[in-house]
Structure 1
Amino acid sequence: MGKFKAASFQTANSYNPSAVLGAATHLRSTLGSPARMAFAFVSQHYMPHIADFCEILRVDGHIQDIVGCTTSGHIEGATEFENGDGFSIIACQGEFGDPLTLEDADFPSHTEANGWIALSDPSAFPIEDWLNSSNQRSPRVSVVGGLSSGARHGEATVFINGNTVAATAVPTIGRTVLVPSLTQGCRPIGEPFTVTHADQNVIYSLGGQPAYRALERAFETLSDDEKTSAKGNLFAGLAGSEYIHDFHSGDFLIKNIIGADPDSGAVVIAGIPRIGQTLQYQLRNPSAALEDLGRGYDPIRKAKRKAYGALLFSCLGRGQKFFGASSKDAAEVSDALGGKPIAGSFCNGEIAPVRGVNAIHGYTAACAVFLEKTP
């Protein structure tokens, strides 16, 4: 077993310096020695006090660096705290690079990084362009993270050591290794088709037939109950890799269907497909999501022995209102990790790789597990 440790803490209350000091004391005493990095997720009412918040934690918690963002609900351990004030934090020993302030879409040259944690303000930084750059410049290096939530447009949401920024990225280096996982809550329906005619995000034909007709045929394969609940829950899945003969859940980048026109046969999606790329329509519902929990978190179970902490980024559209019960994702991750420390947030978009391609997702839960690489 390794020697790196992590410790987590949460409070479901508004900003109070005494409570923050209590968190710092808990983290310091649990770890027993200084932490290299901490990740904090705070309700928006903490932001006017974010400099003091970070200073207390760094000084009294013996934490070198703290990065974080706002959230409409926080996660700690096996519990999701949806809505309301509060914060969660995980302090990690191990090896991390200095947190970077992201200012443009160019992915940084960092030869030591084996993975990245990225936090972004969705209205202030071109995170999708940055991820595309990451796929070109550092293929197969995983990026996991989330887009901040819980704030009004124009309000600062991301911070490094008490200073607000548009976006930040933290590299995992050396003996700290990042293991990503993603659960999408969708299952493929109908058949996979090759995109044969598209203009930007407007798809005209799939496999030589109108894209709308392919959507109709996929819908016809659903049960009566599934058809009843399908409104707003049909998506387009773009294959993350073409080197697959039999597509399953988890093989696709899930994109919203923005519109469909039966007259022209076109379907408009929130993504730009390539001609020749495989597309299969998807159904999102709680039963598909529950089935996906086991598959999506398999990498975590395999990493359990060497894991010492994790971050969980869950979509605002998941949680109790989707599953009908709270803490489904957090409980599953906590169980997979054997109760190791976890902190996280509810996001306006989640970042994780699919088949080695880093991307922004919706209605998903993305997890980053920190392992200690041992000889």
Structure 2
Amino acid sequence: MTFPGENDNASASIFLPSAFHGEKLVEEVQAARQQLGRGGPVLAFVFVSVEWAPHLSEMLEILRREGGIDNVVGCSGGGLVGIGQEIEQAPGCTMLFLKLPATRLRRAEITSGDLEDVAKGAPLDMITGVTREDFSGWVTVANPMRLPTDLWLAAWNRDYAGLPLYGGLASSHGTEDPFLFTEEGRTDAAMLAVHFADGVRLGGVVSQGCRPIGEPYIVTRVNQNMLVTIGQRSAYEVLEEAFDSLDLADQFGAKGNIFAGLAISEYKDEFRRGDFLVRNILGGDPQAGVLAVGAFPRVGQTLQFQLRDRNAADEDLRLQCAAAQNRYGQPFAGLLFSCLGRGRSLFGDPHHDSAVVEDVFGRIPLSGFFCSGEIGPVGGQNFLHGYTAATVFFMHS
């Protein structure tokens, strides 16, 4: 076995689908530390089920003592992800260790008070200490009970325009509240974000799990989040037309699974998957002909309805992962943020999203969790998504 040197990027991951067991964790951390090689500070992304919450202090002490790890970004998850493996609503822990000796890292802990300052117009770099020119991307975990996502993402896209942000909202199962933690233990921060500069490149995939149906049309009349007319026809009529274009099998499974796809950019001759921001259809009035959607569409924006099912979700993730490999090359590690609504409930079988990543990229160190909202860029802007698999890959620069 060969090990990386002091100046090499390195990674290792741990997946423990079980209740907390200190001796087992010690063994796993020691093996991961050996895999990382000599020297260099290590950043750990750590995701745990709520059953591990009473053992956080002991877990963090093991990471410090056995792994030399004193920089931890973590949260709870209602399901956990490893290399080709996933667990849902069950006890466990998953970790990704990154040794990045040539990379400048800065971790921001953003509080509810900081977000109040942002609401008053404070620039984010005053809070994070990071200017737009300093880095190539962010990875974040956030507490959905403390984070006003619309406000925060609007400020993020304003101050860090064009720079990717990947991550997810902490989740849990049962009646427990989600939580964030660092090497010091639980934190009341609304979000933890890590920026990466030099020595490593970030690239990723945001798979919204849909395929376009019907035809693309121009939005011609709106009232806030209400689609009134599309292509000068009633929005409800255009939706019915898209539904009628499906075969009988797709129509049978389409109830509750048709969404509005809003084009991010109009500067395209042809629209494909990945060109649309997928948002829920909240309701419709066939008499008035209007549809309510989970967004604020613009007059002149291109819209195409989207169908989500297991086949579309599988195909979309595979195509996007293959395209990412062609674009970025082979990563040395990854983080997968998958929606609580995916997994067994969508695909019928376990391990789907992590298995697709393994099929395309091989057995790279991988960690992640099932989120209550996934964060990633579409069309150069960062959004909060649902029913999505957002994956960030780490490549040598």
- In structure 2, the partner of 1:15 is 20
1:26 equivalent to 2:31? Answer yes
Work out the CA distance in 1 between the residues paired with 2:210 and 2:11: 32
User: TM-score by structure 2 length?
Assistant: 0.89
Question: Which of residues 316, 328, 333 is equivalent to 1:309?
Answer: 333
- In structure 1, the partner of 2:157 is 135
- In structure 2, the partner of 1:211 is 235
SS of corresponding position for 2:332: strand
Work out the CA distance in 2 between the residues paired with 1:128 and 1:46: 31
* 217-226 vs 297-306, greater mean Cα deviation: 297-306
Alignment of 1:1-375 (within 5 A): 3-33=8-38, 34-94=40-100, 95-103=103-111, 104-105=114-115, 106=118, 107-108=124-125, 109-110=130-131, 111-150=133-172, 155-161=177-183, 162-164=185-187, 165-302=189-326, 305-373=329-397
Matched-pair contact (CA < 8 Å) for 2:318–2:360: no
Count matched residues.
Answer: 373
Q: Which amino acid aligns with 2:219?
A: V
> How far is 1:73 from its partner?
1.2
Matched-pair contact (CA < 8 Å) for 2:80–2:370: yes
Work out the CA distance in 2 between the residues paired with 1:154 and 1:44: 7
User: TM-score by structure 1 length?
Assistant: 0.94
> How far is 1:151 from its partner?
5.0
Matched-pair contact (CA < 8 Å) for 1:179–1:299: no
> How far is 1:318 from its partner?
1.2
> How far is 1:163 from its partner?
3.3
Work out the CA distance in 2 between the residues paired with 1:355 and 1:47: 37
Fraction of identical pairs, as percent:
37
Work out the CA distance in 2 between the residues paired with 1:263 and 1:307: 52
Q: Structure 1 35/8 Cα, relative in aligned 2: closer, same or farther at 3 Å?
A: farther
Work out the CA distance in 1 between the residues paired with 2:210 and 2:203: 22
Matched-pair contact (CA < 8 Å) for 2:89–2:173: no
Q: Which amino acid aligns with 1:64?
A: D
- Note the aligned Cα RMSD (angstroms): 2.0
Task: Specify every segment of 5 or more residues in structure 2 that has no aligned partner in the other structure, as ranges.
Answer: 119-123
* 341-350 vs 194-203, greater mean Cα deviation: 194-203
Matched-pair contact (CA < 8 Å) for 1:58–1:66: no
SS of corresponding position for 1:132: helix
What are the Cα deviations for residues 349-371 of structure 1, in whole angstroms up to 9, with x where unaligned?
Answer: 11111111110111111100011
Q: Which amino acid aligns with 1:54?
A: L
SS of corresponding position for 2:349: coil
Task: Specify every segment of 5 or more residues in structure 1 that has no aligned partner in the other structure, as ranges.
Answer: none
Work out the CA distance in 2 between the residues paired with 1:113 and 1:64: 22
Q: Which amino acid aligns with 2:158?
A: Q
> How far is 1:278 from its partner?
1.4
Q: Structure 1 324/154 Cα, relative in aligned 2: closer, same or farther at 3 Å?
A: closer
Q: Which amino acid aligns with 1:7?
A: A
What are the Cα deviations for residues 129-186 of structure 1, in whole angstroms up to 9, with x where unaligned?
Answer: 2222222222221001011111567835111222323211111111111101111210
> How far is 1:77 from its partner?
0.7
Q: Structure 1 152/172 Cα, relative in aligned 2: closer, same or farther at 3 Å?
A: farther
SS of corresponding position for 2:157: helix
Work out the CA distance in 2 between the residues paired with 1:99 and 1:55: 20
* 255-264 vs 12-21, greater mean Cα deviation: 12-21
> How far is 1:304 from its partner?
6.6
Q: Structure 1 151/4 Cα, relative in aligned 2: closer, same or farther at 3 Å?
A: same
SS of corresponding position for 2:152: helix
Work out the CA distance in 1 between the residues paired with 2:25 and 2:94: 11
> How far is 1:83 from its partner?
2.1
What are the Cα deviations for residues 224-282 of structure 1, in whole angstroms up to 9, with x where unaligned?
Answer: 11111101101011112111121111111110111111111111111122222211111
Q: Which amino acid aligns with 1:90?
A: L
Work out the CA distance in 2 between the residues paired with 1:241 and 1:50: 44
Matched-pair contact (CA < 8 Å) for 2:171–2:177: no
* 17-26 vs 244-253, greater mean Cα deviation: 17-26
Matched-pair contact (CA < 8 Å) for 1:119–1:145: yes
Work out the CA distance in 2 between the residues paired with 1:360 and 1:72: 18
Q: Which amino acid aligns with 2:356?
A: E
